[in-house]
């Protein structure tokens, strides 16, 4: 499959000097969603994005109802649905026996329960749907190949320094939002705790046309369109259909065996066979065949932050991975970026003098929410990678606890409305 590329040069490229505008650094999921949410509330928005082209190979994404309900309100979900799949169920299987441990119905039942669908799609399709909506709004301007490098806040607003290919400019606004991802340069890097930390695990990602999957693997798949997670000691594999069901997206998470805990060691192209595939040699033959026969598998080192960092000062707020890079065990990173964005737009009132107080309340409530999601991710990691007695206890629980109780256990997460006060 070709790497999907979104050429940002076709995006709106216009500048309007306006000291009341809200400046956003970064046009990822967080930045674009925020631009739309602010625009819907009548704010003028200026986005600076350092890339000219966004490309991400083989990256599928699960979007739970807490995210899709917000995308629906922004007019993005209708654009995204034709390229998405609404899975029938989320299934957990034992990676060695292939036996089903848990089958959680999703599909229309999930949509009715949480009033919005659970979907899976390609990240590039989500980005494209967001961009299409951004282009339709007159009060959003976007500059490409422009990196925010510095800012200076005062009681009146914020000055932002922007580096272009050939020049540096200063821009003024009422607020700066850092949506600049896990390596945010706007995050206060005063202490080690503020840095994103390498977890020592790598997510290996691949997307494969359904027709090319080995038969021994497809025999393992439960009937229907499902998100399936296979568990094992210290590793797991997730598969789900995307691109209207024509492709299967895979994420295999395993320990980094090669880099000695360092994140800056390059992972060589032939590393998969020596690296993550080893973790799956003793698994069910269908999974071993899959890992060895499809590809390319693209490595993605997993980073996390110990603490949330929403508020840097009264004129600089961070959202998305910049504020709280998290591991993907709860599949909520993008959903939290979308929630952050919509909650922030809903927080800001018309009176700018109230913004410091409103932002402080925002940071407090978002920190509570993110901490709960991080705890859920840690629990999922424990369940996915369990071995020995812990795995036995997990299997016992999954066999004996009514499915309805597992489903109800997601109400706090999927039923949440980030815009409600
Ligand atoms: C293996 C894996 C699987 C995942 N699966 C899921 C899933 O199923 N569901 C889910 O919800 N989440 C998932 N996530 C998480 C999700 O992908 C991220 O949390 C999300 O994409 C973060 O979006 P963001 O906009 O905050 O950051 P980014 O997408 O990193 O965007 C940051 C943007 O800022 C730009 N930028 C950076 N610095 C500057 C600067 N100085 N000036 C201007 N622009 C700048 C960058 O070019 C980029 O465009 C997964 C993550 C991984 C690694």
Alpha carbon separation from 131 to 91, 140, 151, 170, 209 (Å, rounded): 32, 11, 26, 25, 26
Q: Look at residue 174 and tell me if it is in a domain.
A: yes
Output the residue whose Cα is nearest ligand 1's atom 17.
334
Q: What is the mean pLDDT of the chain?
A: 90
29, 178: one domain: yes
Q: How many domains is the chain partitioned into structurally? A: 2
Regarding the beta carbon of 68 and ligand 1, being less than 6 Å apart is answered no
- The enclosing domain of 405 has a CATH number of 3.50.50.60
173, 50: one domain: yes
274, 394: one domain: no
Q: How many CB atoms are located within 10 Å of the residue 278 CB?
A: 15
190, 207: one domain: no
Least confident of 170-179, 228-237, 264-273: 264-273
* Banded model confidence at residue 312, pLDDT cuts 50, 70, 90: confident
Q: Look at residue 419 and tell me if it is in a domain.
A: no
Q: Separation of 29 CA from ligand 1 center, angstroms? A: 6
Q: Separation of 45 CA from ligand 1 center, angstroms? A: 20
Q: Look at residue 232 and tell me if it is in a domain.
A: no
Residues ≥6 apart with Cβ < 8 Å to 95 = 230, 231, 232, 235, 236, 237, 280, 283, 284, 287
Quote the strand ranges of 41-138, DSSP E: 45-48, 53-55, 60-63, 89-94, 100-105, 119-122
Q: What is the pLDDT of residues 276-294, one digit of tens each?
A: 788 888 999 999 999 988 8
Give the CA dihedral 295, 279, 390, 305, nearest 10 degrees: -70
Closest atom of ligand 1 to CA, residue 319: 26
Q: What is the pLDDT of residues 211-234, one digit of tens each?
A: 999 999 999 999 999 999 999 988
Q: Look at residue 163 and tell me if it is in a domain.
A: yes
* Banded model confidence at residue 262, pLDDT cuts 50, 70, 90: low
Q: Which of 235, 334, 337, 413 to mutate to test the pocket of ligand 1 (most atoms within 8 A of CB)?
A: 334
189, 208: one domain: no
Closest atom of ligand 1 to CA, residue 25: 43
Q: What is residue 292's DSSP assignment?
A: H
Q: Look at residue 280 and tell me if it is in a domain.
A: yes
Averaged over 345-370, what is the pLDDT?
A: 96
Residue (of 150, 144, 151, 186) closest to 165 by Cα position: 144
246, 376: one domain: no
Q: Which of 11, 84, 106, 328 to mutate to test the pocket of ligand 1 (most atoms within 8 A of CB)?
A: 328
Q: What is the pLDDT of residues 391-416, one digit of tens each?
A: 999 999 988 999 999 999 999 999 99
287, 328: one domain: no
Residues 145 and 143: their CA atoms lie apart, in Å, by 7
Please check whether residue 251 is in contact with residue 230, taking contact to mean a CB–CB distance below 8 angstroms: no
Residues 67 and 101: their CA atoms lie apart, in Å, by 27
Residues 57 and 39: their CA atoms lie apart, in Å, by 30
Residues 187 and 181: their CA atoms lie apart, in Å, by 10
Q: Look at residue 205 and tell me if it is in a domain.
A: yes
Residue 15's pLDDT is 54
- Which runs of consecutive H residues, i.e. helices, occur in 195-260? 215-218
19, 89: one domain: yes
Q: Which of 185, 198, 337 to mutate to test the pocket of ligand 1 (most atoms within 8 A of CB)?
A: 337
Averaged over 306-331, what is the pLDDT?
A: 93
344, 325: one domain: yes
Residue 234's pLDDT is 85
Output the residue whose Cα is nearest ligand 1's atom 38.
180
Residue 1's pLDDT is 42
Q: Which domain-ending residue is among 298, 326, 347?
A: 298
More confident residue, 94 or 53: 94
97, 135: one domain: yes
Regarding the beta carbon of 162 and ligand 1, being less than 6 Å apart is answered no
45, 133: one domain: yes
Q: What is residue 28's DSSP assignment?
A: S
Q: Look at residue 393 and tell me if it is in a domain.
A: yes
Q: Look at residue 80 and tell me if it is in a domain.
A: yes
Regarding the beta carbon of 181 and ligand 1, being less than 6 Å apart is answered yes
Output the residue whose Cα is nearest ligand 1's atom 2.
328
* Banded model confidence at residue 27, pLDDT cuts 50, 70, 90: very high
Domain hosting residue 29, numbered range? 5-194+305-414
Q: Which domain-ending residue is among 298, 314, 339?
A: 298
More confident residue, 193 or 8: 193
Q: Separation of 294 CA from ligand 1 center, angstroms? A: 26
| 335 pLDDT higher than 90 | yes
Averaged over 258-279, what is the pLDDT?
A: 66
| 354 pLDDT higher than 90 | yes
Residue 54's pLDDT is 64
Q: Which domain-ending residue is among 277, 298, 319?
A: 298
| 13 pLDDT higher than 90 | no
Q: Separation of 94 CA from ligand 1 center, angstroms? A: 30
* Banded model confidence at residue 3, pLDDT cuts 50, 70, 90: very low
Residue 7's pLDDT is 47
- Which runs of consecutive H residues, i.e. helices, occur in 244-354? 271-274, 285-293, 321-324, 333-347
* Banded model confidence at residue 59, pLDDT cuts 50, 70, 90: confident
Q: Separation of 178 CA from ligand 1 center, angstroms? A: 12
Regarding the beta carbon of 299 and ligand 1, being less than 6 Å apart is answered no
171, 249: one domain: no
Closest atom of ligand 1 to CA, residue 186: 41
Closest atom of ligand 1 to CA, residue 302: 53
* Banded model confidence at residue 190, pLDDT cuts 50, 70, 90: low
Averaged over 145-152, what is the pLDDT?
A: 95
What percentage of the chain carries pLDDT values higher than 70? Answer: 90
């Amino acid at each position: 499959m070709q790497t999907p590329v979104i050429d940002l040069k076709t995006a709106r490229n216009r500048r309007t000097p306006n000291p009341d505008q809200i400046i956003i650094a970064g046009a990822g999921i967080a930045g674009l969603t925020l631009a739309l949410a602010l625009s819907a509330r009548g704010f003028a928005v200026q986005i600076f994005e350092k890339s000219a082209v966004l490309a991400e190979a083989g990256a599928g994404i699960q979007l739970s109802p807490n995210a899709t309900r917000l995308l629906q309100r922004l007019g993005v979900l209708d654009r995204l649905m034709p390229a998405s799949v609404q899975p029938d169920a989320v299934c957990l299987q034992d990676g060695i026996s292939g036996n089903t441990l848990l089958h959680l119905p999703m599909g229309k039942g999930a949509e009715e329960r949480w009033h919005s669908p659970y979907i899976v799609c390609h990240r590039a399709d989500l980005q494209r749907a967001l961009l299409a909506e951004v282009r339709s709004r007159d009060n959003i301007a976007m500059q490409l190949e422009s990196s925010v490098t510095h800012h200076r806040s005062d009681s009146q607003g914020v000055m932002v320094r922007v580096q272009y290919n050939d020049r540096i400019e200063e821009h003024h606004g009422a607020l700066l939002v850092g949506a600049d991802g896990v390596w945010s340069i706007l995050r206060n890097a005063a202490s080690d705790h503020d840095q994103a930390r390498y977890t020592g695990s790598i997510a290996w990602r691949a997307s494969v046309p359904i027709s090319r999957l080995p038969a021994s693997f497809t025999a393992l798949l439960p009937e229907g369109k499902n998100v399936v997670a296979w568990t094992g000691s210290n590793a797991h594999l997730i598969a789900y259909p995307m691109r209207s069901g024509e492709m299967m997206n895979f994420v295999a998470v395993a320990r980094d065996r090669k880099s000695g805990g360092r994140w800056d060691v390059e992972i060589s192209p032939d590393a998969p066979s020596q690296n993550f595939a080893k973790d799956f040699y003793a698994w069910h033959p269908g999974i071993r065949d899959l890992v060895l026969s499809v590809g390319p598998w693209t490595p993605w080192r997993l980073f996390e932050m110990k603490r949330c960092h929403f508020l840097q000062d009264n004129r600089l707020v961070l959202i998305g991975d910049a504020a709280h890079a998290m591991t993907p065990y709860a599949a909520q990173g993008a959903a939290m970026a979308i929630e952050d964005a919509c909650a922030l737009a809903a927080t800001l009132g018309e009176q700018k003098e109230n913004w410091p107080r409103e932002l402080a309340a925002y940071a407090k409530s978002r920190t509570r929410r993110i901490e709960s999601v991080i705890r859920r991710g840690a629990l999922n990691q424990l369940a996915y990678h369990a071995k020995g007695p812990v795995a036995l206890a997990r299997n016992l629980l999954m066999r004996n606890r009514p499915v309805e109780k597992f489903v109800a256990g997601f109400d706090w997460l999927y039923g949440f409305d980030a815009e409600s006060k």
